[in-house]
Structure 1
Amino acid sequence: MVFFYPYGVAFILSILIVLLSTPLVRSIGLNTGYFDHPGERKIHDQPIVRLGGIAICLATLCSCLIVGLFDDFTRLPPVKILEFWGVIVGGFLFFLIGLIDDLSDLSPFTRLGLQFGVASLVWVVGVRIEFLPIPGLGLIPLGLLSLPITIIWLAGVVNAINWMDGLDGLAAGISGISACIMLVICLFINQPAAALIAIALATATLGFLRYNFNPAQIFMGDGGSYFIGFTLASLAVIGLMKTSDFSLVILPFLILVVPILDMLVVIIARLSDGKSPFYADRRHLHHRLLNRGLSQRLTVLYIYTLTLWVGCLALAIIGIPGGIFYGVGATGLLIYMSRNLGEHKQLTSVD
């Protein structure tokens, strides 16, 4: 039986910590000079503190540890407790990688090497993908391929979220929506440890929007996006992919399809032009929408809607009560937003 009161405590702790600590982190950033400066690919026109990931990480981990250590989560099977600690420690290590990059600007290959190292470490303690869903073939046991597939998944989602962090509130919003969808699913299939992490992360990221939505007062930086990306990816592993149920294993790919597909399209486009996958350009989805004349806020809200839409489809697929109605509602909202985008483009071209 799933008890709901621990999640309420985690919600309260996470929202309080992120709302109280973010202004403090911003003040420290202002005093130390750790800014994200304007540039050719940047949307903002003035320096903004980029250490907001500290508040997100602090809120998520503190609420998880306080509730996890003093509630019935300590009675979980040893395997689940080990997975829980793998996500907590791994998330903190990914946060450190991103924070170091924020402070000293690591090379792409150094960042990737460190990400692979931490992903390998959490694989050892049980945060691992054991089946790969193949349409028409079902679930394929990975065996020895579990390690490289897990590394690719964890590092891939980390960088997908990082690359979506290009507009005020974009990465935090889509991550918060994705975490909420995972929370509902984890509660539905009785995965309490994963649900605890999901509600802590969802609250921290959505609470962070208080300071990060346009016009942003602070950015999450690589520390924040790396932590969020890893936590989402590992949540999917321990909460949804530790099963032989095809519909569950396929859900994380659907829930996170917006940032993943954006990353894959950009990488393929760069490689087709003979450029490095790490070459910085303006090919991302949010750049394309901005180039159509959309405002920052409308662009971000449209991508929020896309994320919510695929998330509601995930709820419908798994058979969650009301999931079909959520999916229909999200589809209607997406159609409405798409029509508004078309009308906005026509008005912009006329002007």
Structure 2
Amino acid sequence: MIYIIFLLISFTLTFFIKYYAIKKSLMAQVNERSSHTVPTPHVGGIAIAVTWFIGLFYLYLNYEIESNLFYALLVGCIISIISFFDDLYELSPKIRLTVQALVAIFGLSFLGGFETLTFGLFDISNSIVTNVFAFFLIVWFINLTNFIDGINGYVGSEFVFLSLAGFILFADAHFLVLGVSVLGFLFWNWNKAKIFMGDVGSTLLGYNVAIFTLYYANNEPNNFWLWITLFSLFWFDATITLIRRKLNKEKLSQAHKKHAYQRLTQAGWSHYKVTNYSIIINICIFSVVYLISNILISFIFVILVLFCTMRFVDFKKPFN
């Protein structure tokens, strides 16, 4: 019952935020990076954030979440607040990166650091190496989720998927809270979006999946690769695109429309079609992870599938 209440909170808040954003002209304008064609209300991620943090406190007060994970996730309110102001005023990259760095440090501190990075045949347990790696992973996941947030329902459906996958695999209640927090918003963002989540939502979600990755890896090192595999649709696209732009000697801070999902829309696919196919790919990824017990084999298989998918996108719309 409580999760239905959280769902209704997210749903209702999104509706009122949409109404308020239109009234106050808080609109995402069309620019060279946009995949939408008309100004659309943004900052809908406020509904996700508010519902998520209410749910977190509920779980904490009812002893349904460990303290270290609770506080690590609670740090996400900082990135959400700063991102809200970034949505409104376009803060400088230096301010954004500084806040992201502080959030990464605080989050890692509450988790007790990142203990072991396993590669199957050998492990890295040097705390300096593992924590520097974890720091950059958090910052990268925050940014890549923000980069990928560009078409209707794409990021929302990804995090509903990750929440369901996490709950099926670990049966922890915080996944249900996150899932319904995003789902209530997703109703208004699906297909012909009436509102976007904005940075206030995407950066928080990226931070959350980074914390989940590190927290569960501390419980069982192989869980690191499990979460990396589950989140691979996003990081694979963002990372390959970044590398390609670097090889093209492009200015990486410059806006672009070269992610795989963007090139598919340029090739004539609707937002609805791209998002639906991403859901199918995610279902395939989860099936591989669930059915193949060896996570290394699962990871390699999924990366091969994503490589073939990228080649298909290149065929539809070449990377120039």
TM-score past 0.5 threshold: yes
1:166 aligns with 2:158: no
Tell me the equivalent position of 2:93: 108
* Cα pair 2:107 2:211 within 8 Å, conserved: no
Kept after mapping to 2: 8 A contact 1:108/1:278: no
TM-score under structure 1 length normalisation: 0.80
Partner secondary structure for residue 27 of structure 1: helix
Aligned counterpart, 2:194: 217
* 3-state SS of 2:84 partner: helix
Q: Which position in structure 2 is the counterpart of 1:309?
A: 284
Give the secondary-structure state (helix, strand or coil) at the position aligned to 2:182: helix
Q: Please tell me whether the aligned partners of residues 182 and 236 of structure 1 are also in contact (alpha carbons under 8 angstroms).
A: no
Q: CA deviation at 1:244?
A: 4.2
Q: Is the 1:169–1:214 contact (alpha carbons within 8 Å) kept by the matching residues of 2?
A: yes
What's the TM-score, normalizing by structure 2?
0.87
Structure 1 position 135, deviation (Å): 4.3
- Structure 2 residue aligned with 1:121: 106
Per the TM alignment, residue 245 of structure 1 is displaced from its structure 2 partner at its CA by 4.3
Aligned length: 301
Shift of 1:98: 1.2
Structure-1 residue corresponding to 2:76: 91
* Structure 2 residue 12 is the aligned partner of structure 1 residue 20: yes
Contact 2:117 2:221 in 1 (8 A): no
Paired amino acid for 1:205: V
Partner amino acid, structure 2, of 1:98? S
Structure 2 residues not aligned, in runs of 5+: none
Q: Say whether 1:294 aligns with 2:280.
A: no
Which SS does the other structure have where 2:67 is aligned? helix
Code of the aligned partner of 2:212: L
User: Between the two proteins, what is the percent identity of the paired residues?
Assistant: 22
Aligned AA (1:119)? A
Structure index of larger Rg:
1
Contact kept? 1:132, 1:142, Cα under 8 Å: no
Q: Please say if residues 87 and 199 of structure 2, whose CA atoms lie closer than 8 Å, have aligned partners that are also in contact.
A: yes
2:217 matched residue in structure 1: 241
Paired with 2:271 and 2:45, the residues of 1 have a C-alpha distance of: 21
CA spacing shift, 1:289–1:81, aligned 2, 3 Å = same
Query: Measured at CA, do residues 67 and 245 of structure 1 come closer, stay the same or move farther in structure 2, by a change above 3 Å?
Result: closer
Q: Following TM superposition, by how much is the alpha carbon of 1:105 offset from its aligned partner in structure 2, in angstroms?
A: 0.4
Secondary structure of residue in 1 paired with 2:37:
coil
SS in 2 for 1:242: helix
In the other structure, the counterpart of 1:72 is 63
Alignment of 1:1-351 (within 5 A): 9=2, 11-69=3-61, 71-73=62-64, 80-88=66-74, 90-126=75-111, 128-137=113-122, 139-187=123-171, 195-238=172-215, 240-246=216-222, 248-318=223-293
Whether the aligned pair in 2 keeps the contact of 1:119 and 1:155 (CA below 8 Å) is yes
Whichever residue aligns with residue 72 of structure 1, its letter is: Y
Change (3 A) 1:143 1:200: same
* Cα root mean square deviation, aligned: 2.3
Q: CA deviation at 1:312?
A: 2.5
Q: Distance in 1 between matches of 2:63 and 2:100?
A: 32
